[in-house]
C-alpha cells in the first residue's frame, strides 16, 4: 500500500498480512460456515443469522445494553482474533476500524415507539450508546483493551471495504502493528424493510440473482465480519498462518445521485484503477474480481460496464457473494473481504448463487454452477454504496 508521494516518488508502506478471519452471516457463525456455503450454496429466504446466540459472547446484563449490530461486531472480531492465534499485541499499537451503515436501528425504532406510547420519561438511558454507529468499534476495542485508533466508517454499502482498507493502512503506515478491520449490520426491521420496498430497491421475489436477466432487487441481510491485519514481518516471526495480504485500496465518489450509480460506472472505474495503482499492479495482473453484485438492475449493469472498461472482454473471472449472503449493507464489504482471502487461501473461486440466466448486456466471465479452481492471484473486491461511495480493495497471495 502507498502512504503518499514524496520528492522521490511513491512511498510504499509495510506489507499487511491477513492472519485471522471471523464471520457471522446467514450461513451461520464462523468463517468456515460462510466458506462452505459459498462453495455449495443452499441458503435462501430471509438472510438473518440463524444461530447467533449473544449469551456465547456476553452476560445477560451486557447483552441487554448492546444493539444486535454491536453484539455481532464483537462476535466477529473475537472469532477473527481467536483465529489469528496468540497476537501478543502492544495495546497502544493495536487499532480497530469497524463499519456500519445505520448502527443500532433496532434500538432506535424500539425507543421511538416507547417515547410515543409512554412519553420521553420512559426512554432508555442506554438509547444513545446502543444506537450510535461507533458502538461496534468502541465495544471491540474495549473487549480487547486496545488503545490505538478506534474508529467507525459509515459510507453505506461501501463502508465495510473502506474500513478494511483504513485498518490495513494503519498497519502499512507503522501506526499499528495489529489492526482489526470489519463491519456489522442488523437492520432487518419492519421500518427499514418498508423503506427499501417503497423505494423499489428490494427484490419482489425474495431471490438474490446477481447479473441474472431476471434480477429485480437486493435481498436485505444482517451479519458481520472481521479480519486481523498484521505487519507481515511480525506475523512471520511469530509463526502465524497467513491467508493473504492486503496490497491496496481506494475510494472515490460518483457525485451523481443519492441512490443510483452513475450509469457508465465512471466512479467505479476510477476506484478500481486507483486501487490497482495503490497495489502496484495493472489490470492484467488481476486474477479474479469479487463484485459488489447486488442483484439490482442498475447496479449490476453499471458495475459490469465498469469492469469491462478496466479489464476488457472477457476479463478475469467475476463472482458475487450476494447471491448467497444477500446484501448486509455496511457489513457487506467486510464479509466479501473474508471471502476473497479464503478464495486465495483455498485456490477456489466460489460460484455466484442465484445466477442462471446471464443478462445478455453483461459481458463478463461470471462464475456460476460449480466452484472454479484457479492458481491464486490478486483479487479485486468491489463495494459501491448509496451516496455514490465507491470502495475497492486489492488482496493478493502471501509472497
**C-beta of residue 235 within 8 angstroms of C-beta of residue 19:** yes
From the candidates 26, 27, 106, 157, give the one annotated as an active-site residue: 157
Catalytic status, residue 327:
yes
Over residues 282-310, the mean pLDDT reads 97
DSSP single-letter state for residue 51: T
Residues 81, 85, 90, CA angle at the centre, nearest 5°? 70
- Measured distance CA(160)–CA(131) in Å, rounded: 18
- 297 has pLDDT over 90: yes
pLDDT confidence of 313, banded at 50, 70, 90?
A: confident
Across the chain, mean pLDDT equals: 97
What is the enclosing helix (H) or strand (E) of 319? Answer: strand 318-319
From the candidates 106, 162, 288, 292, give the one annotated as an active-site residue: 292
- 65 has pLDDT over 90: yes
Q: How many CB atoms lie within 10 A of CB 77?
A: 32
CATH code for the domain defined by 16-396:
3.40.47.10
Catalytic status, residue 256:
no
- Measured distance CA(186)–CA(189) in Å, rounded: 8
pLDDT confidence of 314, banded at 50, 70, 90?
A: confident
Residues 6+ apart with CB under 8 A from 288: 316, 317, 318, 319, 340, 343, 349, 374, 377, 378, 379, 380
Using alpha carbons, list the distances in angstroms from residue 395 to 15, 16, 36, 147: 12, 10, 20, 27
pLDDT confidence of 399, banded at 50, 70, 90?
A: confident
pLDDT of residue 176: 98
From the candidates 106, 162, 327, 389, give the one annotated as an active-site residue: 327
Helix, strand, or coil here: 382? strand
Nearest to 339 by CA among 323, 359, 356: 323
- 397 has pLDDT over 90: yes
Catalytic status, residue 147:
no
- Measured distance CA(393)–CA(273) in Å, rounded: 11
pLDDT digits (tens, 9 = 90+) for 8-21: 999 999 999 999 99
Residues 239, 241, 245, CA angle at the centre, nearest 5°? 115
Amino acid at each position: 500500500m502507498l502512504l503518499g508521494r514524496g520528492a522521490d516518488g511513491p512511498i510504499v508502506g509495510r506489507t499487511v498480512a491477513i492472519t485471522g478471519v471471523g464471520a457471522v452471516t446467514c450461513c451461520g457463525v464462523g468463517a468456515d460456515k460462510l466458506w462452505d456455503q459459498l462453495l455449495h450454496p443452499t441458503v435462501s429466504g430471509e438472510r438473518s443469522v440463524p444461530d447467533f446466540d449473544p449469551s456465547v459472547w456476553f452476560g445477560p446484563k451486557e447483552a441487554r445494553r448492546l444493539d444486535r449490530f454491536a453484539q455481532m461486531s464483537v462476535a466477529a472480531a473475537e472469532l477473527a482474533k481467536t483465529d489469528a492465534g496468540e497476537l501478543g499485541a502492544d495495546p497502544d499499537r493495536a487499532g480497530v476500524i469497524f463499519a456500519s451503515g445505520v448502527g443500532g436501528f433496532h434500538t432506535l425504532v424500539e425507543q421511538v415507539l416507547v417515547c410515543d406510547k409512554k412519553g420521553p420519561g420512559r426512554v432508555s438511558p442506554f438509547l444513545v450508546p446502543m444506537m450510535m454507529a461507533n458502538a461496534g468499534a468502541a465495544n471491540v476495542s474495549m473487549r480487547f483493551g486496545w488503545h490505538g485508533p478506534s474508529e467507525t466508517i459509515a459510507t453505506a454499502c461501501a463502508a465495510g471495504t473502506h474500513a478494511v482498507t483504513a485498518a490495513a493502512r494503519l498497519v502499512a503506515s507503522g501506526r499499528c502493528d495489529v489492526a482489526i478491520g470489519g463491519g456489522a449490520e442488523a437492520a432487518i426491521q419492519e421500518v427499514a424493510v418498508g423503506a427499501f420496498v417503497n423505494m423499489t430497491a428490494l427484490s419482489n421475489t425474495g431471490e438474490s440473482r446477481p447479473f441474472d436477466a431476471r434480477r429485480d432487487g437486493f435481498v436485505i441481510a444482517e451479519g458481520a465480519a472481521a479480519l486481523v491485519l498484521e505487519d507481515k514481518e511480525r506475523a512471520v516471526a511469530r509463526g502465524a498462518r497467513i491467508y493473504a495480504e492486503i496490497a491496496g485500496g481506494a475510494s472515490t465518489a460518483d457525485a451523481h445521485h443519492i441512490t443510483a450509480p452513475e450509469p457508465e460506472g465512471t466512479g467505479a472505474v476510477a476506484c478500481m484503477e486507483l486501487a490497482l495503482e495503490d497495489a502496484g499492479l495493472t489490470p492484467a495482473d488481476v486474477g479474479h474480481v469479487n463484485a459488489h453484485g447486488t442483484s439490482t438492475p442498475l447496479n449490476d449493469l453499471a458495475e459490469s460496464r465498469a469492469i469491462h472498461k478496466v479489464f476488457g472482454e472477457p476479463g478475469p473471472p467475476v463472482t458475487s457473494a450476494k447471491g448467497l449472503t444477500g446484501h448486509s449493507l455496511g457489513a457487506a464489504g467486510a464479509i466479501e473481504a473474508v471471502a476473497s482471502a479464503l478464495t486465495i487461501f483455498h485456490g477456489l473461486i466460489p460460484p455466484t448463487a442465484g445466477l442462471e440466466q446471464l443478462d445478455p448486456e453483461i459481458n463478463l466471465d461470471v462464475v456460476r454452477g460449480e466452484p472454479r479452481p484457479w492458481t491464486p492471484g490478486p483479487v479485486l473486491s468491489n463495494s459501491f454504496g448509496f451516496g455514490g461511495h465507491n470502495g475497492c480493495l486489492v488482496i493478493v497471495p502471501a509472497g
